[in-house]
A = this chain, B = another copy of it.
Amino acid sequence: MPAYTRKTIDQPVQGSSSEVYWQTAHVSRQQRAQKHQHRSCVIWFTGLSGSGKSTLAHALELRLHQMQCSTFVLDGDNVRHGLCADLAFSADERTENIRRIGEVSKLFLEAGVITLTAFISPYEEDRKAARALFDSADFIEIYCQCALEECEKRDVKGLYKKARQGLIKEFTGISAPYEVPQTPEMVCNTQTNSVESCIDQILLLLRKRGVFLDMKTL
């Protein structure tokens, strides 16, 4: 396979007319950022089931959307039933699941979209592999910190109960491990903080990172 190269329209193509016919001008990431008035990045939420990843991701997306940003949330709802419908929850399959999510996030990043992922992603190694796909400026890992007891108490989907009954195998926190992130860009304590205060904290980080090109109201 040839090396991964991309021509952009910043680098005009030279050659005879027949060559030009079959060569390709690409829209660059910079041009997309200019259009959207923000850079793209990946905000990777990790944490136990019930720790608030999906809630935070969607609430943050809504706020960003209201700020006219181009956004998308990848979560169990839209990935596990589609792209990864062929994968179950063994360690290998979780790894492949996270690999695919990392790669899809990269496509969304390239498309200029602020991409939010909300998956347990329990293994440090898998998260590191996802991180390795990106420039460090583009990847923000957020650990949704919440005690297992609290997550289990919430048990919004009734999954912990089923896991305790042995009806679900390899359930993170009960019968499968969760490796706490060692150096995430941010820790959101979702046990003690409100969704809104977590979002404010994240928006501040995005602002510091220069994600917004003009002075959009936070």
Chain A residues within CB distance 8 Å of chain B: 1-2, 4-6, 9, 21-27, 31-32, 35-36, 50, 52, 54-55, 58-59, 61-62, 65, 68, 70-74, 77-83, 100, 103-104, 106-108, 110-113, 133, 154, 156-157, 194-195
Contact = CB atoms under 8 A, between A and B. Distances in A.
B81 A107 contact: no
A24 B195 CA distance: 11
Contacts of A9: 62
A24 B54 contact: yes
A55 B20 CA distance: 10
A2 B61 contact: no
Contact of A65 (B4, B35, B59, B72): B35
The 6 closest A-B pairs by CB, nearest first: A72-B111, A83-B103, A82-B103, A24-B58, A27-B65, A4-B81
Contacts of A78: 4, 6, 107, 110
A65 B21 CA distance: 20
A142 B97 CA distance: 31
Contact of A74 (B36, B82, B107): B107
